[in-house]
A and B are shown apart, each in its own frame.
Chain A
Amino acid sequence: MGGALTVYRWELRKLLSQKRTYIGLLFATAVPIIFVTTVAARNHGPEDVPFGRYVLQSGLAVPLVLLTFGAYWLFPLITALVAGDIVASEDHNGTLKTILTRSLDRAPIFAGKALAACTYAFVALLAMAVVALVGGGIMAGFHSLVSLSGTTVHPGRALVLIGGSFLVYFVPMLGIAAIGLLFSTLARNSAAAVVGTLMLSFVLQLVAILPGLGGIKPYLLTNQFFAWHGFLRVPTDWAPIGHALWVCAIWFVASLVVGAIVFVRRDVAGG
């Protein structure tokens, strides 16, 4: 455990010294800024997204619109950008042999990397939320929000629900991070792992809209990106949230376990 935390701390330090870290954070913060400025300039919100109609009435609607928007590629991309790189970059730099000939076993090294990839996804999500809230607040103020059930929610309560929504939204992001890590371990190539993770997320979304495959839709990882809607219903609908938790847990654990086994057993013949 101590070993994993040592690796975790150093993985974070390494992330802070790498360009791609900031590229992902730039995406996460630029999107809400672009969104808010576009809406403000056209004085018109998007119609066909939940909460889209209300962005000019309350800035609190902005982060929620972006959650829906970000589910398609933005957050899978940002998550994959680091998770897909975190093992493969060691292959690329040839540094696996360097760190695997010290006093730490492979398992804590993998665990530290997994923790760092998840932390990064969380920081990116948080950055997006903060910028979206601030931008939305500046544009429209923090007024009451209309829930998905049509009821009015006061700003304080809405903020709590938004917080809960982001936490629930983070759960499938953990699943994406675990898949990115698995692909990173298997592909040994950063670009392939990032693109592969993104492609899988697209394929899952495609499967969800294919006719005749409706039965598996509730078990797709990408579908859990909408579980937070349960928070914005009155009364709170816990069913999709509980469902998302266990579905994501399966994706997360399965990817992580396979990734860990491959990482622990693999030959380090390059570098």
Chain B
Amino acid sequence: MPAPVEARGLVKRYGEIVAVDHVDLTVETGNVYGYLGPNGAGKTTSLRMLLGLIRPDEGAVRLFGRDPLVDGARALDGVAGFVEEPRFYPYLSARKNLELLAAYDAGGARDRIDSVLETVELTERAGDKVKGYSHGMRQRLGIAGALLRDPRLLLLDEPTTGLDPAGIRDMRDLVRRLAEQGMTIVLSSHILAEVEALCDRVAILRRGRVVFEGALAELRDAAGGFYALRTTDQARALRVCQAHAGLSGVRPDDGAVRFSGPEDAVASLSIALGEASVGILALVPHVATLEELFFDVTESERAAEPEPARAVGAAS
């Protein structure tokens, strides 16, 4: 059984901008996969390539082993989803829109119209033209349109964007319910908390590149490990740390030396510092929150240097 999503070396350029820059992505059956990144990171562009809406400049996509560029609509068998705001024919009612989509789907999609309307709580408004729908209702209708296909893989692009708090809660509950039913879900988001609440695996995207990929637990571990060291001789301490085996990401940081590494390496470091006649004033383990890590890998300029290898290295 091929994986629901396997993307290799995806690149999409828009003139000077590299919207998606060599992205590899593997989503296994049953994953609720968070695709995380700030606005403009390339999430939507990636999902468009997965759905066969745009052609990658390089690389290839496989959905359950099928390539949308080679197999056309067949590659979307068992796949549903939408990018950005779901769009419908404004002059048709919600039900008519779903009937059209069901006709464009293979199989018994038409018989599911009532039940998907029920699922997204639009049954009562189904006769109204989509023209008069609020953003939240369109978002729900988008989910309904996707569920019509009875998908095994659901791709959702920031489905809570623009919703009010109740709408966000409902949408998250719905995604959770679908995941519990065994659906594989890829959920893009620029909000870490959302991914944290729903997903078991994440890829973090920054300027088109994946800067972290792994289980959420690994992300937490990666976020846990750095130390801040203050000594009587910071210059020498920095040199000792840089020479010390097992430490990574050594750099001066706000009057301290900052590094990460396993506990035994830190223990031997304290001895090495003593041998080098550097007095330790403070050696503080720092547990970064996910927010800080997210910020670190996505926005900090330092993260553009080889430094974020810390996060990626911890994952691989």
A interface residues, Cβ below 8 angstroms from B: 6-7, 9-10, 13-14, 17-18, 93-106, 265, 267-269, 271
Contact = CB atoms under 8 A, between A and B. Distances in A.
A11 to B, nearest CB: 10
B281 interface: no
A101 B51 contact: yes
Contacts of A105: 72-73
Interface string B73-99: 100110011111111111110001000
Contact of A267 (B55, B88, B89, B90): B55
Interface in B100-133: 100-101, 103-106
Interface of B: 45, 48, 51-55, 72-73, 76-77, 80-92, 96, 100-101, 103-106, 145, 149
A105 B76 CA distance: 10
A239 to B, nearest CB: 44
A269 B101 contact: no
Given A100-B52, A102-B104, A268-B54, A14 B87 contact: no
A271 B105 contact: no
Nearest to A97: B53
Contacts of B106: 103
Nearest to A6: B103
Contact of B82 (A7, A18, A98, A265): A98
A234 to B, nearest CB: 50
Contacts of B96: 13
A103 B77 contact: yes
Contact of B87 (A97, A103, A269): A97
B105 A14 contact: no
A102 B76 CA distance: 7
A269 B48 contact: yes
Contact of B92 (A17, A102, A269, A271): A17
A98 B77 contact: no
Contacts of A106: 72
Nearest to A102: B104
Nearest to A109: B104
A98 B88 contact: yes
B92 A97 contact: no
Contact of A103 (B45, B51, B73): B73
A99 B103 CA distance: 10
Contacts of B76: 101-103
20 contacts: A7-B104, A13-B96, A13-B100, A14-B100, A17-B92, A93-B88, A95-B87, A95-B88, A97-B48, A98-B82, A98-B101, A99-B100, A100-B52, A101-B52, A102-B73, A103-B76, A104-B104, A106-B72, A265-B55, A269-B53
A265 B55 CA distance: 8
B84 A271 contact: yes
A70 B106 CA distance: 43
Given A98-B88, A99-B104, A103-B105, A268 B48 contact: yes
Nearest to B106: A103
Given A95-B87, A102-B104, A103-B104, A269 B54 contact: yes
